[in-house]
Amino acid sequence: MRKSRYRWFVVSTFLMFILLHQADKLLIGPLTTPIMETFGIDEARMGLVFSVAVLVGAVCYPLWGLLFDLFRRTRLLALASLIWGSTTWLSAIARSFPLFVVTRASTGIDDSCYPGIYNTVADYFEPRKRGRVNGILGLGQPAGYLLGMAIAIFLKDSIGWRNVFFLTGAVGVVLSVVIFFFVREPARGASEPEIAAAAHKVEFKFSWKVAFGLLKKRSLVLLFFNGFFGVFPWQVITFWFFRYLEKERAYPPGRMFVFMVIVVLVLAAGYPLGWLSKSSSALRPSSCRSPRRMRYRRSTM
């Protein structure tokens, strides 16, 4: 398989991972009511189920990040996919509420593996193409939410919420095999123009000094601050909006689906802009006639 075609195979594989993983991760929202009825719990106890998985995922973010810097990223992503499938199956077979809380908490382990996907794909594409590639991968998240919503709404009554979990968990196991055997680990920094032009091989190692130095970038801190508060409404919609529409508004399944499709499409409207985005090196000086005046040209995509 030619390099140009193979790297798009890698993108397609990880797009399927994000799409189906998001579908599995967000199933819990549309399945809230039947799960509550199965274990005989109220909203407060169901909120515990949501919270523990988010907490575990938050704790695992720096752990995954460190592992991705130290070991082969593709192998770790295959492991994350296997964990996704296995923990979802464990949630499906849990027969008591305390055990269900524990198994749902374990599903948060693989939720924080996404940086490894973007980092791996970045080494397959030069900087001027990464914006559109990340835009494609980003679309997998809202599309996965829509897929998970459709699966939950239209299958929960016919096959039951446990079998829905068995179905999506199986997908995670299958994808772990695909990633392990067919996705090759790229050389770190292989697509960086400066490294490609270097006369000798450059090897990078993780540095805490460099990592903490990123916090000195004010724009990055502002993005962290914005993301922290921006995620609040998304979490409410993800976990509780179905319960609200179903119980408080008495929406039938079909109407809920149409309503949520509109909501998610509006929320995801920004992802296609990634197709048009360019890297931070998109503006480069073309000529400079005086120190105070500099003209810039846009690099072609």
Q: For residue 298, is pLDDT > 50?
A: no
Mean pLDDT of 67-73: 93
Residue that wins the pLDDT comparison between 204 and 99: 99
* Range in 231-245, 248-262, 263-277 with the lowest mean pLDDT: 263-277
Asked whether 277 and 132 are in contact (CB, 8 A), the reply is yes
Percent of the chain as helix, strand, coil, to the nearest 5: 75, 5, 20
Q: What is the CB neighbour count within 10 angstroms for residue 127? A: 16
* Range in 65-79, 163-177, 207-221 with the lowest mean pLDDT: 207-221
* Range in 97-101, 223-227, 245-249 with the lowest mean pLDDT: 223-227
Per-residue model confidence as pLDDT tens digits over 1-59:
567 889 999 999 999 999 999 999 888 888 999 999 999 999 999 999 989 999 999 99
Q: For residue 97, is pLDDT > 50?
A: yes
pLDDT of residue 209: 82
Q: Indicate the domain borders of the chain.
A: 3-191+210-277
C-alpha distances in angstroms, 209 versus 116, 178, 205, 278? 20, 36, 11, 28
* Range in 16-20, 168-172, 277-281 with the lowest mean pLDDT: 277-281
Note if the pTM is more than 0.75: yes
Integer-rounded Cα radius of gyration of the chain: 22
Mean pLDDT of 237-256: 82
CB proximity list for 77: less than 8 A, separation 6 or greater = 14, 17, 113, 116, 117, 120, 179, 183
Fold of 3-191+210-277: Growth Hormone; Chain: A; (1.20.1250)
Asked whether 228 and 239 are in contact (CB, 8 A), the reply is no
Instruction: For residue 298, list its beta bridge partners.
Output: 283
Question: pLDDT class for 167, splitting at 50, 70, 90?
Answer: very high
Question: pLDDT class for 270, splitting at 50, 70, 90?
Answer: low
CB proximity list for 219: less than 8 A, separation 6 or greater = none
Residue found under tokens 């239209």: 154
Q: For residue 293, is pLDDT > 70?
A: no
d(CA 88, CA 82): 10
Mean pLDDT of 52-70: 92
DSSP structural state of residue 198: -
d(CA 106, CA 161): 18
d(CA 97, CA 117): 33
Mean pLDDT of 258-286: 61
Identify the burial level of 224 via C-beta atoms within 10 angstroms of its C-beta, where 0-12 means exposed, 13-18 middle and 19 or more buried: exposed
Question: What does the mean pLDDT of the chain come to?
Answer: 83
CB proximity list for 87: less than 8 A, separation 6 or greater = 103, 106, 107, 109, 110, 169
Mean pLDDT of 257-273: 74
